[in-house]
Structure 1
Amino acid sequence: MKPVITAFDWVPPFAQGQVRDLRVRWALEEVGQSYDVRYLAQGAHKGPEHRALQPFGQVPTYEEGDLVLFESGAIVFHIAERFKGLLPPERDGRSRAVEWMFAALNSVEPPIMDHAIATIFEAGEPWSKARLPSVNARIDERLGELSRRLGDRDWLDGEFTAGDLLMVAVVRILEGDALLDPYPNLIAYVARGTARPAFRRALAAQIAGFTGEPPARFKEWAEKHKQAQGETA
Structure 2
Amino acid sequence: MSKPVITAFDWVPWFAKGLVRDLRVRWALEEVGQAYDVRYLPQGSQKAPSHRALQPFGQVPTYEQDGLTLFESGAIVQHIAETYGGLLPRDAGGRARAIEWMFAALNTVEPPITDYAIATLFEGEEPWSRPRLPAVIARISERLDELSRRLGENEWLDGSFSAGDLLMIAVLRQLKGTSLEGAHDNLAAYVARGEARPAFQRALASQMAGFTAPPPPEYAFLDQPPTRQGESR
> Structure 2: where are the runs of 5+ without partners?
none
2 CA distance for matches of 1:229 and 1:173? 16
1 CA distance for matches of 2:213 and 2:137? 34
> CA 1:168–1:229 in 2, change beyond 3 Å: closer, same or farther?
closer
Which residue is equivalent to 1:122? 123
Is contact 1:123-1:229 (8 Å) kept?
no
> CA 1:173–1:16 in 2, change beyond 3 Å: closer, same or farther?
same
2 CA distance for matches of 1:192 and 1:177? 20
Deviation at 1:182, TM superposition (A): 2.7
Aligned partner of 2:31: which letter?
E
TM-score, length of structure 2 as denominator length: 0.94
What are the residue-to-residue correspondences of 1:49-64 with 2, within 5 Å? 49-64=50-65
2 CA distance for matches of 1:229 and 1:11? 18
Deviation at 1:178, TM superposition (A): 2.4
In the alignment, is residue 2 of structure 1 matched against residue 3 of structure 2?
Answer: yes
Deviation at 1:172, TM superposition (A): 1.0
CA RMSD of aligned residues (A): 2.0
Matched positions, count: 230
Which residue is equivalent to 1:219? 220
Which residue is equivalent to 2:160? 159
2 CA distance for matches of 1:39 and 1:128? 33
Which residue is equivalent to 1:137? 138
Higher percent of residues as helix:
1
Give a deviation string over 1:17-49, Cα, whole Å, max 9, x none: 000000000000000000000000000000000
Q: Percent identity?
A: 69
What are the residue-to-residue correspondences of 1:1-233 with 2, within 5 Å? 1-219=2-220, 222=222
2 CA distance for matches of 1:231 and 1:144? 21
2 CA distance for matches of 1:68 and 1:95? 24
Aligned partner of 1:32: which letter?
G
Is contact 2:30-2:202 (8 Å) kept?
yes
2 CA distance for matches of 1:230 and 1:88? 43
Is contact 1:17-1:207 (8 Å) kept?
yes
Deviation at 1:217, TM superposition (A): 1.8
Aligned partner of 1:202: which letter?
A
Is contact 1:180-1:186 (8 Å) kept?
no
> CA 1:231–1:193 in 2, change beyond 3 Å: closer, same or farther?
closer
SS of 1:179's partner is coil
